[in-house]
A and B are shown apart, each in its own frame.
Chain A
Amino acid sequence: GAGVSQSPRYKVAKRGQDVALRCDPISGHVSLFWYQQALGQGPEFLTYFQNEAQLDKSGLPSDRFFAERPEGSVSTLKIQRTQQEDSAVYLCASSPWGLRRGRDGNTIYFGEGSWLTVV
């Protein structure tokens, strides 16, 4: 597609429920990022994929968070046993570049986000 697509746009989950958030990056983009953005804050890094390899998951806040990108394109962020503090916007971003510095300065392109509310 032309841009990064995320679904669902809005999700209300009951506490304890599992959720899955999908990201469809720009076609051909090597890098894929997940960020968490709490209300009124900047995005905080969760995890990074280069193709299908998850090279950095240091930002995942607990073992309830899991991300995958099995074929190097679409990615899913799964949150198990959701808690109220998980309420946030989950942003996916992609970039055409991998580890090396790209000519565009490693610009990353964001989707519109998945707004998760845990009640």
Chain B
Amino acid sequence: GNSVTQMEGPVTLSEEAFLTINCTYTATGYPSLFWYVQYPGEGLQLLLKATKADDKGSNKGFEATYRKETTSFHLEKGSVQVSDSAVYFCALSKGGYGQNFVFGPGTRLSVLP
């Protein structure tokens, strides 16, 4: 079945450090890939997405590239801020509905001033 694996957290970084959160997936065909972010006490917000191989999603300084050959969608940011502290979820969608939208377990990021 479809699944998403993320690096385990928590990840603790100093402000302005470089961030990478690894995400790999298992799915047949060509899923769309997403990163969602959840700030404390809030729901999930879409951070970025990519709908086909080699696409790069970007938003708020975060980037992720859809790599079909390695089935990966790693999240990167060149210089993190304290306000980036949150839980980050990688997800895939095969279209359709219901169970076809699958989330990873989340990676908690803490950025220290």
Contacts and interface: CB of A to CB of B under 8 A. Distances in A.
Q: Mostly helix, strand, loop or mixed at chain A's interface?
A: loop
Contacts of A91: 43-44
A112 B34 CA distance: 18
Contacts of A109: 46
B14 to A, nearest CB: 24
Interface in B58-110: 89, 93, 95-99, 101-106
A56 B45 CA distance: 24
Q: Report the interface size class on chain A.
A: 20 to 34
B98 A48 contact: yes
Given A42-B89, A107-B49, A58 B99 contact: yes
Contacts of B104: 42
Interface in A1-56: 4, 6, 31, 33, 40-45, 47-48, 50, 55-56
A100 B98 contact: no
B35 to A, nearest CB: 11
Given A42-B103, A104-B51, A58 B45 contact: no
The 8 A-B residue pairs with the shortest CB-CB distance, nearest first, are A105-B32, A101-B95, A56-B98, A105-B51, A48-B98, A42-B103, A112-B43, A110-B43
Interface of A: 4, 6, 31, 33, 40-45, 47-48, 50, 55-56, 58-59, 91, 93, 98-102, 104-113
Given A55-B98, A56-B97, A102-B95, 17 more contacts: A4-B43, A6-B43, A42-B105, A45-B98, A45-B99, A56-B99, A58-B99, A59-B98, A104-B51, A106-B93, A106-B101, A107-B32, A109-B46, A110-B44, A111-B43, A113-B42, A113-B43
